[in-house]
Amino acid sequence: MERKVQHKHKNINAAFNPARTLILGFFAAILIGSFLLHLPVASRGGASVPFLTALFTATSAICVTGLVVADTALTWSIFGQIVILCLMQIGGLGFMSVITVFFFIMNKKIGLTQRLLLVKTMNLNDIQGIIKLIRHIIIGTLIFESIGAVILWICFQPHYGIWQGLGMGVFHSVSAFCNAGFDLTGETEPFSSLVFYSGESVILIIIMLLSFIGGIGFFVWEDIWNQRKSRKFKKLHLHTKMVLAISFWLVITGWLLFYFAERTTPATIGGMPFPKAALASLFQTLMPRSGGFSVVNQASLTGVSSMASIALMLVGGSAGSTAGGIKNVTTAILILSAFNSLRGKTRLTVFGRTIPQAQVVSALSVAVLVFTACFAGSAAISFAQPELPFSAVMFEAVSAVATCGLSQGITPSLAPVSQIIIIILMFLGRIGIMTFGMAAFINRGKSEKIKRPDTWVMMG
């Protein structure tokens, strides 16, 4: 009898696939959000919007992207905007984290299956301490979003009044922290994002801080908090050190590049005084890393700035954060591995620790798959709509895969087939192409029993 029970548990564990469950969970959340946004009550005009528009918006919100085919402020009612707000929060924290909140409220025990899903959702490798981490994530998220909402409420209140200003503050605080990029400023001009607030330094600084905090990753928060007494950089985990180091260099490099590339462009920051231009350049540096807001017209950027924005979108934020992209640590591993090869070294060492070769291969796989998705998506959209500039199409596809949300203005003009392509790219970008591959192609129960001989091939 005991053997039968053990065999039964073994079969259950073998059948359980966290990657597949994660995908189904996000897919279910998108469908529910789409049906809610398709309801007449969700529309500002009182009539149901096309289901594809609802599906596109729900996918963009749950995947914390920010690309929209219909302006959020002009299209959706208060009910619809609340639905989008909830989808952004679920997408930012991960649906399993949100489910865990209900477990906490109902004082129910969280089982092994739920813990494995949480580990997969947060891109962690260890199940130990996951519940404590989730609890801190939820508390930290509420604190950061509440502080951001209050400050933004104060800033928006003179323009919108007390209650609408409060709604604006809450919506944009959640959107910024979750790196979602949704805004409610379309009444000034549709799809304008924060262009008309480029002179409001407090609003821009709060949006940047919320986006950066959400994008560095929940594990980094926890590590910094645990080491708050020692205040020594060397005591932080390797992941935290790499995140902070590469984030610093990306911000400084991007800031200088955008400022000097755009300082003579009247359509962007050319006519701004130095403090305002410097702040706009910093904003443009941080937002491509999955923030999704903009204070300048992205279609007016110089070629250098457009390429820099694409590069920053591809890098994205940190693993286990609200941001997308191939992630900054992955990028660091790829760059350092390339330098290692140039110097003839085979072992990758960072801050006195050796990165396993398996992780180097994994980083390369992620980069190749993301680049492939970007080029395939761009090619498909260009084939469907050859009238669109390829540079803008590539920008759009990268923004979708990286769940960034910046656009050079072609999103509203996308044909239905192009919208479906962008929906697929956003979904792949949010759940992770590697996660999707593991769910679809993993060969369960079989292992490589025969070791083939090593052979060198010509490269370079």
Burial 334-373 (b: 16+ CB within 10 A, else e): eebbeebeeeeeeebeeeeeebeeeebeebeebbebbeeb
Per-residue model confidence as pLDDT tens digits over 311-336: 999 998 888 777 788 888 899 999 98
Q: Is the pTM of this model over 0.95?
A: no
Q: Check residue 251 and give its pLDDT.
A: 93
Let me know if residue 148 belongs to a domain.
yes
Q: Check residue 8 and give its pLDDT.
A: 40
Let me know if residue 3 belongs to a domain.
no
Of the chain, the end-to-end C-alpha distance in Å amounts to 60
Q: Give the number of domains in the chain.
A: 1
The Cα-based distances of 117 to 16, 61, 68, 430 in angstroms read: 10, 21, 30, 15
Q: Find tokens 């009247």 and name the residue.
A: 266
Per-residue model confidence as pLDDT tens digits over 202-229: 999 999 999 999 888 888 888 888 887 7
Q: Check residue 289 and give its pLDDT.
A: 84
Let me know if residue 324 belongs to a domain.
yes
The lowest-confidence range among 21-35, 37-51, 299-313 is 21-35
Across 139-143, 192-196, 279-283, 337-341, the highest mean pLDDT is recorded for 279-283
Distance of CA 391 to the CA centre of its chain: 22
Give the pLDDT band of residue 232 (cuts 50, 70, 90). Answer: confident
**What is the arithmetic mean of pLDDT over 271-287?**
92
Give the pLDDT band of residue 412 (cuts 50, 70, 90). Answer: very high
Let me know if residue 14 belongs to a domain.
no
At residue 449, does pLDDT exceed 80? no
Let me know if residue 150 belongs to a domain.
yes
Q: Check residue 256 and give its pLDDT.
A: 94
At residue 413, does pLDDT exceed 50? yes
Considering the chain, what is the average pLDDT of its residues?
A: 85
Q: Find tokens 């760059």 and name the residue.
A: 335
At residue 392, does pLDDT exceed 80? yes
At residue 9, does pLDDT exceed 60? no
At residue 4, does pLDDT exceed 50? no
The lowest-confidence range among 13-17, 153-157, 208-212, 413-417 is 13-17
Q: Answer whether 400's CB lies under 8 Å from 424's CB.
A: no
Residue type, 203: I
Q: Check residue 6 and give its pLDDT.
A: 41
Per-residue model confidence as pLDDT tens digits over 77-118: 999 999 999 999 988 877 556 666 655 556 666 666 666 666
Q: Check residue 239 and give its pLDDT.
A: 86
Calpha distance 323→247 (Å, rounded): 13
Q: Check residue 219 and give its pLDDT.
A: 82
Range of the domain at 93: 20-440
382-389: long-range pairs with CB below 8 Å, 24+:
384/415, 384/417, 384/418, 384/421, 385/414, 385/415, 385/418, 388/413
For residue 354, list its beta bridge partners.
349
Q: Find tokens 């399993």 and name the residue.
A: 96
The lowest-confidence range among 4-18, 26-40, 144-158, 332-346 is 4-18
Calpha distance 319→314 (Å, rounded): 13
Q: Check residue 10 and give its pLDDT.
A: 42
Let me know if residue 8 belongs to a domain.
no
**Cβ neighbours of residue 174 closer than 8 Å, sequence gap 6 or more:** 85, 88, 89, 92, 145, 149, 180
**What is the arithmetic mean of pLDDT over 54-64?**
95
Helix (H) or strand (E) holding 348: strand 348-350
Q: Check residue 253 and give its pLDDT.
A: 94
Per-residue model confidence as pLDDT tens digits over 237-266: 888 899 999 999 999 999 999 999 999 899
Closest alpha carbon to 119 in 427, 435, 356, 369? 435
Let me know if residue 4 belongs to a domain.
no
DSSP states along 145-175 = HHHHHHHHHHHHHHHH-HHHHHHHHHHHHHH
Let me know if residue 358 belongs to a domain.
yes
Give the pLDDT band of residue 406 (cuts 50, 70, 90). Answer: very high
Q: Check residue 393 and give its pLDDT.
A: 96
At residue 171, does pLDDT exceed 80? yes
Calpha distance 149→372 (Å, rounded): 38
Pick the more confident residue, 171 or 22.
171
